[in-house]
Structure 1
Amino acid sequence: MLNLGLVIVGGGIGAGIRHLLNMGAMRLLGSGYPWGTMIINITGSFAMGSFIELLARRFGASNELRLFVATGILGGYTTFSSFSLDFAALWERGALGPALAYVLVSVVGGILALFAAFWLVRNLV
């Protein structure tokens, strides 16, 4: 239960930060392009790489801290950081084909699923 609580609290913090950054980007840069999401994806991936390398690998961070920061805060901030970490883990293990397939299937599959949902809701609901 403690682990779930850490993820829930961290996720709320990350989602709040994401919302504030998205609103700030829209005010500063306009709403004609998804600047906020792009900034969030890049900064979240950078934060995930920094956290995993420094705290988890070099300083032996506890599982609870990893859950709170990586799964909770960064997962709530952007799941793209988790996607980037999964890709990097496959790549660093030398699983180049599976890594590239993961990117292709995740990105294309996600976009196709979104358009399929649009079509279903627009035509069947």
Structure 2
Amino acid sequence: MLKTILYIALGGAIGSVLRFLTTVVVSKFWASHFPLATFLANVIGCFLIGFCIGILEKNQLTDSHLKWFLVTGFCGGYTTFSAFGLENINLFQNNTSFVAFAYIGLSVILGLFAVWLGLFISK
């Protein structure tokens, strides 16, 4: 258990630093109201989690420290949106489209509301 936590922590630290560097690099070359750095991190994170899961499944490594390091740690540190994307793909693949759409809609609407509420309460 401790070894797994260490793999997740290391992957998460690397992912978080890369997420920060993504913002630094994008901000250097792109100035706009559109949050391009976050958008790119989310899309790249979604690609990476899909790629990692695919490679891990192909090599029967879905219950390995590599999965914890790459998927939970690195991708989770880079963006939790990647996990959201993977969970929805799994819901669609399991023929639970209604649940997937409900999860998507509720996550976006309640997520935005929660951010607003947190900002409102803190002021």
For normalisation by structure 2, the TM-score amounts to: 0.94
- The one-character-per-residue Cα deviations of 1:59-107 (angstroms, maximum 9, x if unpaired) are 1124211000000001000100000000001110000000000101111
- Structure 1: 5+ residue stretches without partners: none
Partner of 2:110: 109
1:15 counterpart SS class? helix
- What fraction of aligned residue pairs are identical, expressed as a percent? 29
CA distance in 2, matches of 1:13, 1:4: 14
CA distance in 1, matches of 2:45, 2:39: 10
Q: Which one-letter code corresponds to 2:45 in the other structure?
A: G
- Quote how far apart the aligned CAs of 1:32 are: 2.9
CA distance in 1, matches of 2:41, 2:24: 12
CA distance in 1, matches of 2:109, 2:13: 28
Partner of 2:60: 60
CA distance in 1, matches of 2:77, 2:32: 22
- Structure 2: 5+ residue stretches without partners: none
Q: Which one-letter code corresponds to 1:3 in the other structure?
A: T
CA distance in 1, matches of 2:112, 2:64: 33
- Quote how far apart the aligned CAs of 1:33 are: 2.2
Q: CA RMSD in A?
A: 1.0
Partner of 2:31: 30
1:33 counterpart SS class? coil
- Quote how far apart the aligned CAs of 1:53 are: 1.0
Superposition map of 1:7-86 within 5 A: 7-54=8-55, 56-61=56-61, 62-86=63-87
Q: Which one-letter code corresponds to 1:9 in the other structure?
A: L
CA distance in 1, matches of 2:48, 2:74: 10
CA distance in 1, matches of 2:117, 2:19: 26
Q: Which one-letter code corresponds to 1:111 in the other structure?
A: L
CA distance in 2, matches of 1:60, 1:101: 31
For normalisation by structure 1, the TM-score amounts to: 0.93
Q: Which one-letter code corresponds to 2:59 in the other structure?
A: F
CA distance in 1, matches of 2:105, 2:29: 32
CA distance in 1, matches of 2:95, 2:72: 24
Structure 1 ranges of 4+ moved more than 2 A: none
Which stretch of structure 1 is more off in the superposition, 80-89 or 61-70?
A: 61-70
